[in-house]
Each structure stands twice: as C-alpha cells, then as structure tokens.
Amino acid sequence: MMSAKLWAPALTACALATSLALVGCSKDPKEGQQAGAQQQMPPTEVGVLVAQPQSVEQSVELSGRTTAFEISEVRPQASGVVLKRLFTEGSYVREGQALYEIDSSTNRATVDNARAAIARAEANLGVLRVKEGRYRQLVGTNAISKQEYDDIVAQVKLAEADLNANRATLRNAEINLGYSTVRAPISGQTNRSSVTAGALVTANQPEPLVTIQRLDPIYVDINQSSAELLRLRQQLNKGDLNSSNNTKVKLKLEDGSIYPIEGRLAFSDASVNPETGTVTLRAVFPNKNHLLLPGMFATAQIVQGEVPNAFLIPQAALTRTPTGQAMAMLVGADGKVAPRPVTTTGSQGNNWIVTEGLNPGDKVIVDGIAKVKPEQQVVAKPYQPQAAAPQGAAPQQPAASEKKADDAKKEQPEQKPAANA
C-alpha cells in the first residue's frame, strides 16, 4: 500500500506528460507541413513577349468569285442559213476573226440592185446636166423663158439627190452583205457553239451563236459586309489607318493553294445590296496561263491599310471578359501579374493587332497564362514561339491538379489520428 501511494503521483505526472506530447504531435506536424509546402512552391515561370510598336498591315479575308474581264454574246446581224462554222469550239479567237458564214445570196442581190440604181441615176443626171447647159445658153438670148431654165436646174438637183440616195442604199447593202460573215467582236476564249451548219438564224435573235470571254486579266468579285466597310472608313477618317490608292489583293484558291500573282482592287460598288447587306468589291488579277476560270470560288486577302504604332500580340496571350473586353496579363517591375484591358483592330496570321492599352517595353504573358492570376509572383522568361505555348500549356494543368490531389491524399491519413485524439 505504501509503495502504491508513492508511485501514484509519478504515474499521474507521466500520463500528463504523455498527453501533452500527443497533443503537441497532433498539431505541430500539420502546421509544419502546410508552412513547408508554402515555402517549397517556387514562383511560376511564364513566357513573356516584350511589346514593341511597329507599322502593321491590316488585312481581311473575304470570299469571292471569278468573273471574265470581258464577255461578248455573239448574235447574227443578218438573216439566213448558216453555211459554215469557221472556228474550233473552246479555242482562242482574235478580234475581227471570222466565226460563221451565213448564206449571202439575198444580200448580194440587194447590192447588185443598188449598183444598177446608181448607174441609172448617173445616166439620168448626165442627160439633165447637158440639157441644163443648153438651156443656159438659150435663156441668155431669150430663146426660152426663165421659168423653163429654172425647171431644168431643179431637175438636175433632184437627179443629184437621187444619185446620192442610191449610193447610200448601196453602202447599206454592202454592210448587210458583210454581216453574212459573223466576226469576233473581242479577243478571247470561245465556248460551245449553239448552232451548226444548216441552221436558220435571224438578225438580232435572242439566243447567241457563241459566247466569247476574255480571261486575261480576270475579275474577282468580292463581297464585304457594310458594317466592316463602315468600320474601315471610320478608321481612315480618324487617322488610325493609312490608306493606299493601289490596294493589293492576294488570292487563295479552292484547293487551298495561293495564286502566285498579286492583284489590285479596281473599284467598290457605291451602294449596299439590300438583300445581303454587302458591298461588292472588284479586284483585277493577271491570268496569262488561264489558271483562273470564270465562276471559280476563291478567298481574297485584301490589305486595307497600314496601322501605325501597333503591337502584334499572339492570340493565345489575350483573353476575353464576359462583356467581350480583351485583356492581357503583364509582368510588372516587381515580378507580379497585372491585368490590362487592350483594344484590337483585327488580326494578322496568329497575332492580334493591338492599338491601345500597351506601352513599349511591356512584358505580356504568352506562355503559361492559364496558370497565373492577378498579383501572383512569377518568374518571366523570353517567349519562344516554336514552343507552341497554347498547346503545351493545356496538358500541364491536369498534372498540377494531380499533384494537388496526391498532396491532399497524403494529408488525410495524418489528420485522422488528430481527430481520434
């Protein structure tokens, strides 16, 4: 009994010390791990692009369709039966080249009749002129009256007028005879002939015999929305865009290839199509090899002007707020992330054209923008475009989340003893 009484205070002191030790062990490791984790996480590395102002060409891509430079629908100007086609369908013909031969027997008879009428008029005029000469002598001797002389003079003038009329009739008949040979009004490529030998054609018929198209140069008709055209003109008026009187146009064909020769913008329609809300622009392209044919679809890249003092920023570096405001993340002098609203006026390739919101020398975050937030401490390194930051940044996020999940799993078993305690 005595020994038990002596050991009781000692046992009580040991139990109290043990409980205090357990309590200390249950709290200090958790707080230590959290503090250690915070100390072990280094600042996030980000790739930055140093903003530098430059003059940037502002261009726009619009769909269009090719159209022949000149189109001529050949119709006969004389009636008759087609005797012969004098060209090969689909071939190139020159201006003035004979295309069809129409039966000209009727027109030749008309020409012969006009020539005979002229001969008769000339003979009649000759007789009257001789008679007028005799009367002039007789009236001088008062052998005939003045009235008779005036009558013969009038007959001479009438015969001269008849002769001139017959000559005009002959010229008209010869013109109609020339229409018996149908000639090409322009140089260009022919398509399929609508008639063959033996077909009866009439003057000025509605259906053309053949259509000729001039393909070098060639037009490309482009449709641009009226809203885009209005925005462009406002930029020109404000001086935000320097225009060019000889606007260059590049062409992308249906197979994705680029047409090797640049064209120029010829004109723009003065009115908006009320059905589509677009304005038609027309560009002219050299087409010596006839690679472009009428009716082809193409995408035209039009250089609208030059934006002075603009910044080219990769598209991956800018985000949009719910209201549509473009935002850039910058690295400040203190190494912290700062958001900055910016204004864009278009794109060039994979870059945005930024006109407001940036200053020369600003460090814009491009690589790793998804891993940072405002006021976060980061380490800036030069952005490498070939690293493909937009594609490489996405796979890193799952890895970071997995690491956080593993840390959470490690912490959970350590928290259970503290709860039990």
CA-only gyration radius of the chain, Å:
47
Per-block mean pLDDT, blocks of 10 residues, the chain (421 long): 46 47 47 51 86 84 91 93 93 94 92 94 92 87 87 92 94 92 94 92 92 94 82 65 66 90 83 85 90 92 80 90 91 90 85 90 90 89 67 44 47 41 30
**Residue 331 forms beta bridges with which residues?**
337
21 domain residue, yes or no: no
Report how far residue 139's alpha carbon sits from residue 147's, in angstroms, rounded to the nearest whole number. 9
**Residue 302 forms beta bridges with which residues?**
60, 249
Cα distances (Å, whole numbers) of residue 233 to 22, 221, 272, 305: 78, 20, 15, 11
Say whether both 326 and 371 belong to one domain.
yes
Q: Write out the two tokens for 82.
A: 């087609």
**CATH number for the domain including 131?**
1.10.287.470
Out of 130, 161, 178, a domain closes at: 178
pTM: 0.61
Say whether both 199 and 135 belong to one domain.
no
Query: What was the pLDDT predicted at 419?
Result: 39
Q: Which amino acid is at 399?
A: A
Domain that holds residue 371: 44-57+310-404
Say whether both 218 and 192 belong to one domain.
no
Say whether both 285 and 321 belong to one domain.
no
Query: What was the pLDDT predicted at 242?
Result: 55
Q: What are phi and psi of 120, to 5 degrees?
A: -65, -40
Query: What was the pLDDT predicted at 420?
Result: 38
Say whether both 53 and 93 belong to one domain.
no
Phi/psi-derived region of residue 267, left when phi > 0, alpha when psi is between -120 and 50, beta in every other case: beta
291 domain residue, yes or no: yes
Where do the DSSP E strands lie in 86-230? 92-93, 98-102, 181-183, 188-190, 200-201, 210-225
**CATH number for the domain including 90?**
2.40.50.100
**CATH number for the domain including 301?**
2.40.30.170
Say if residue 217 is preceded by a cis peptide, omega within 30 of 0. Answer: yes
Query: What was the pLDDT predicted at 306?
Result: 78
Say whether both 88 and 190 belong to one domain.
yes
Angle subtended at Cα 141 by Cα 139 and Cα 144, rounded to the nearest 5 degrees: 40
31 domain residue, yes or no: no
Classify residue 258 by its DSSP letter.
B
409 domain residue, yes or no: no
Say whether both 250 and 270 belong to one domain.
yes
Say whether both 133 and 166 belong to one domain.
yes
Out of 307, 333, 351, a domain closes at: 307
Say whether both 398 and 345 belong to one domain.
yes
**CATH number for the domain including 384?**
2.40.420.20
Say whether both 272 and 153 belong to one domain.
no
CA dihedral of residues 331, 333, 336, 338 (deg, nearest 10): -50
Query: What was the pLDDT predicted at 415?
Result: 40
131 domain residue, yes or no: yes
Residue with tokens 């956080």: 404
Query: What was the pLDDT predicted at 82?
Result: 94
Report how far residue 194's alpha carbon sits from residue 192's, in angstroms, rounded to the nearest whole number. 6
4 domain residue, yes or no: no
Say whether both 195 and 277 belong to one domain.
no
> Strand, helix or coil at 52?
coil
Say whether both 324 and 368 belong to one domain.
yes
Q: Which amino acid is at 346?
A: G
* Total count of domains within the chain: 4
Query: What was the pLDDT predicted at 227?
Result: 79
Query: What was the pLDDT predicted at 341?
Result: 94
- In terms of C-beta density within 10 A (0-12 exposed, 13-18 middle, 19 or more buried), how is residue 220 classed? buried
6 domain residue, yes or no: no
Contacts of 155 (CB under 8 A, 6+ apart): 128, 132
22 domain residue, yes or no: no
